[in-house]
Amino acid sequence: MDKFLVSKSNLSGRVRVSGSKNASLPIMAATLLTDEKCIIKNVPCLKDINTMIKILEILGKKIIFEKNTLTVEAKKSKKYVAPYQLVKTMRASFCCLGPLVAKRKKAKVALPGGCVIGPRPVDLHIKGLISLGADILVEDGYCLAEAKKLKGSHVYLGGPFGSSVLATANIIMAAVLAEGTTVVEHAACEPEVASLILFLRKMGADIEGENTPLLRIKGKKTLRGCEFEIIPDRIEAGTFIAASLATHSHINIEGAEPGHLTSVFEVARKMGAKIKIDKNSRIIQINPPKKIKAVNITTLPYPGFPTDLQAQFMVCLAKASGMSLITEKIYPDRFMHVAELNRMGATVQRTGPYSVIEGKKGLKGAELMASDLRASAALVIAGLAASGKSRIARIYHIDRGYEGIEKKLKKLGANIERVKA
């Protein structure tokens, strides 16, 4: 099992953002809706992508993945089982449920796994598919769905912590082949959902309302293959912004979509950063403050501050002047990184969905263990900002969501090495 050795670093230069993992995975699942070839470009080379490839291959697809281009070959299949051994490793694989029951009339998908960041039920997925006419049974760790014919319906996807991105994706993918019109209310508005809608439109789907919480979908009998390019990864871009702030380093981020990062820019500016954006070249210049200002952050559904950047920005606040408060409104238990940061000298007190951070001048390197994908990124940033050396174990988490993270950081001048444990 690999580890990272990380020590204090000054970063500089340019870094290019990869394609979005969270956009790629549902779009890959959507290729199950057609028997024609799909070509998807700018797909990041990640552990989660390779897992989804294996799932699609088990479901009868022929996949070629070269130079960040994914070709899903046309191949008819009646297979409908996504096994636990693969689905347990990432939550997005549950997105196969909707397209399978829509296209193949039957689906057996293991209940999902992924990062340990608190309860993430699939009740909205099931509720939505039942509304479309699917018969669903959950037993032995699997969700079994059948429907001779899905029919358009009114689906409300509001949950206790807001809208659900993956439930929205699943219902959209089922509805595009349903008979009649489906109205989805309280749909997620994340860029990754809008990207899925654009992909489905290129396949011939009739969907209105992307970037809004109200979608109208007119079902089609069949969908065609298409070519599509994945949007940039806004979470990776935000992670580099956090790294810039925490290490007091001036860096340029290339290839990101500034329009997807408005809430992140707002928080970074409140912390004292100066940000310049060249919209033509899509270069974001980050100029960090000498002293980070304490701020309060509340994670919210898009366009609010992303829960996937909460851990990384907590590292910055651990070095800020004053007291900060983070309120986690998406995954209230997503604070596994708090104990590790405190081991580095941070002062963070967590109570329920709240964490109070007392800023300190510096952090100290330590033996660390990553608990999930975004916590891994946070610990890497903390290691780069801390005096001394840090050893970060269980970095397989970070390989799920960041393409060549240590290579990109090294180009910026980071002291980071991947070693065998």
Phi, psi of 195 (to 5 degrees): -65, -40
CATH code assigned at 47: 3.65.10.10
* Residue found by looking up tokens 């409300």 in the block: 156
pLDDT at 120: 52
Rg (CA), the chain: 21
Average pLDDT over residues 286-305: 97
Q: Where does a domain end: 200, 229, 258?
A: 229
Within this chain, do residues 131 and 256 fall inside the same structural domain, yes or no?
A: no
- Return d(Cα 162, Cα 419) in angstroms, integer: 40
- Return d(Cα 145, Cα 223) in angstroms, integer: 21
Average pLDDT over residues 236-250: 98
pLDDT at 358: 98
pTM: 0.96
pLDDT at 118: 46
Write out pLDDT tens, residues 86-129. Answer: 887 787 889 999 999 999 999 999 887 544 444 457 889 999 99
Within this chain, do residues 110 and 49 fall inside the same structural domain, yes or no?
A: yes
Within this chain, do residues 192 and 300 fall inside the same structural domain, yes or no?
A: no
Within this chain, do residues 357 and 399 fall inside the same structural domain, yes or no?
A: yes
Average pLDDT over residues 219-238: 98
Within this chain, do residues 311 and 242 fall inside the same structural domain, yes or no?
A: yes
> Which candidate, 67, 414, 110, 71, places its Cα nearest to that of 246?
414
pLDDT at 74: 79
Structure confidence at residue 160 as a pLDDT band (50, 70, 90): confident
Residue 22 has pLDDT above 80, yes or no: yes
Residue 379 has pLDDT above 80, yes or no: yes
Within this chain, do residues 219 and 238 fall inside the same structural domain, yes or no?
A: no
Within this chain, do residues 41 and 118 fall inside the same structural domain, yes or no?
A: yes
Structural domains in the chain (count): 2
Active-site residue among 115, 143, 189, 316?
115
Buried b (16+ CB within 10 A) or exposed e, 317-353: bbbbeeebebbbebbbebbbbbebbebbbbebebeeb
Within this chain, do residues 11 and 158 fall inside the same structural domain, yes or no?
A: no
Token pair of 330 as six digits: 């998406």
Structure confidence at residue 75 as a pLDDT band (50, 70, 90): confident
- By residue range, what is the domain housing residue 246? 2-15+233-420
Within this chain, do residues 33 and 11 fall inside the same structural domain, yes or no?
A: no
> Which candidate, 300, 357, 352, places its Cα nearest to that of 326?
357
> Known catalytic residue: 95?
no
Within this chain, do residues 110 and 251 fall inside the same structural domain, yes or no?
A: no
pLDDT at 113: 57
Signed CA dihedral, 379, 370, 120, 78: sign only: positive
Q: Where does a domain end: 208, 229, 250?
A: 229
Q: Where does a domain end: 183, 202, 229?
A: 229
Within this chain, do residues 257 and 347 fall inside the same structural domain, yes or no?
A: yes
Residue 143 has pLDDT above 70, yes or no: yes
Token pair of 36 as six digits: 């024609």
Within this chain, do residues 246 and 164 fall inside the same structural domain, yes or no?
A: no
Mean pLDDT is lowest, of 61-65, 73-77, 137-141, 360-364, for 73-77
- Return d(Cα 107, Cα 100) in angstroms, integer: 5
Average pLDDT over residues 75-79: 85
